[in-house]
Structure 1
């Protein structure tokens, strides 16, 4: 019996390395085991430091992803970090108790999440493993991390795919904090990766208020994957170095803008 349990737990870890996040029900189906058995396995695996239990399922420990991120970022620094921190401060001022917030992966949204940790009685729906982990010890904040797969996208901690999109469709957000690597007056919001663009589009579709958070370096950029036209955005928070003509055009379109100083 112990040998069977050991093998099943090894298989759970292997499955998580493939899919990143799996619900208890999925593991039951894959391993032909009862929910009670899988939950006991997850408890033991978490005690051993091999997995982390979250939201009715499990993910791999953060260290498994941090090592990869830190290796890729070694020797580099973000020249726009101060801008992103200021943008994050402006963004969280819009949050109210009881809000359900969509927040996709990205460096600016990571800064927003750092500040949201001090809040209570809010719900976070994200496709970012890194962001989800920031709330792991917050009992008064509900966190939903999308199921799905990791593709060859950046950040590498992003969960994408049809399953993630389906999960997002089950929620309705008061707010959506959306990052971008490209905003252009003609081509709208774009992303280098189609899978990431699809996640962003689903978040926009299911949110009452969409807030684009981006530093000035992303203005005028056009990537291959289309996310949304500008009229889907309600508010843009950026820094004071953003091009004046673009900000004026956004205001003419009825899009509110906030310019932060650094």
Structure 2
């Protein structure tokens, strides 16, 4: 079992039980206790858990989002905020531009607000692709690869090789959480593909509703300071706006 898979299982167990013992994990996963202790150390270093004598405990739910919801589960959550953010994204896509739209139920809504005469849309999301596929205003490229049915995203070596060979004016990447320093998602393969998509863009836009600000998830895939803009919604508190604007310029309605 890969380390990333093992650590994801550890986080899922901690989410359910709040506290787990090293011996519980060694029996369940059939690994050495030193392996489990190293995993606990790495997860604590990332700020995801707290080690205790003989085991570990989960941080407060307000500080961590560790269970990845499916596309269907995410679709109807915070719709007002998602629509507002989608409008802001659409406002920053100009006629003639080539843009990358990453997976995510917020980014899928961008199509509903675009008024450009023409743009080239590159995506690794089957759900984003389906929104655009019948509109002749757009040149549309769907990147293939290993398919993640949970989010509708194509990831992995094939996707990453293609993305690394192209250039776009702007990339818009949805995330599961972000601290003042790090951008997080639930899955390491998806996070790596998102990293490639940000790296090939002239302008890098991070997409997160205000509920995700200050939250952490399993995999930190990008430094917040290396992105150009954070698009959020008007529900952001004055305190968080001040806090995050120290690291990155914010955009919202």
TM-score bracket relative to the smaller structure: 0.5 to 0.7
Say if 2:245 is the partner of 1:257: no
Counterpart for residue 201 of structure 2: 207
**Mapping of 1:234-249 within 5 angstroms?**
234-249=228-243
Q: Is the 8 A contact 2:96 2:119 kept in 1?
A: yes
Among residues 140, 145, 162, which one is paired with 2:142 in the alignment?
145
More strand by percentage: 2
The 1:147/1:77 distance shift into structure 2, 3 A limit, reads closer
Q: How many residues are aligned here?
A: 184
Q: CA separation in 2, counterparts of 1:250 and 1:227?
A: 18
Q: CA separation in 1, counterparts of 2:75 and 2:177?
A: 20
Question: What secondary structure is seen at the aligned counterpart in 2 of 1:164?
Answer: helix
Q: CA separation in 1, counterparts of 2:171 and 2:75?
A: 27
Structure 1: where are the runs of 5+ without partners? 1-68
Deviation at 1:77, TM superposition (A): 6.7
**Mapping of 1:112-261 within 5 angstroms?**
112-116=110-114, 118-151=115-148, 154-155=150-151, 157-186=152-181, 188-253=182-247, 255-260=248-253
Counterpart for residue 88 of structure 1: 86
Q: Is the 8 A contact 2:75 2:105 kept in 1?
A: no
Question: What secondary structure is seen at the aligned counterpart in 2 of 1:239?
Answer: coil
Question: What secondary structure is seen at the aligned counterpart in 1 of 2:197?
Answer: helix
- Under a length normalisation based on structure 1, what TM-score does the superposition of the two structures give? 0.65
- Under a length normalisation based on structure 2, what TM-score does the superposition of the two structures give? 0.67
Greater CA deviation, 170-179 or 143-152? 143-152
The superposition leaves residues 216-240 of structure 1 with CA deviations (integer Å, 9 ceiling, x where unpaired) of: 1111111121220111221112123
Q: CA separation in 1, counterparts of 2:75 and 2:180?
A: 29
Q: Is the 8 A contact 2:90 2:113 kept in 1?
A: yes
* RMSD between aligned residues: 2.0
Structure 2: where are the runs of 5+ without partners? 1-69
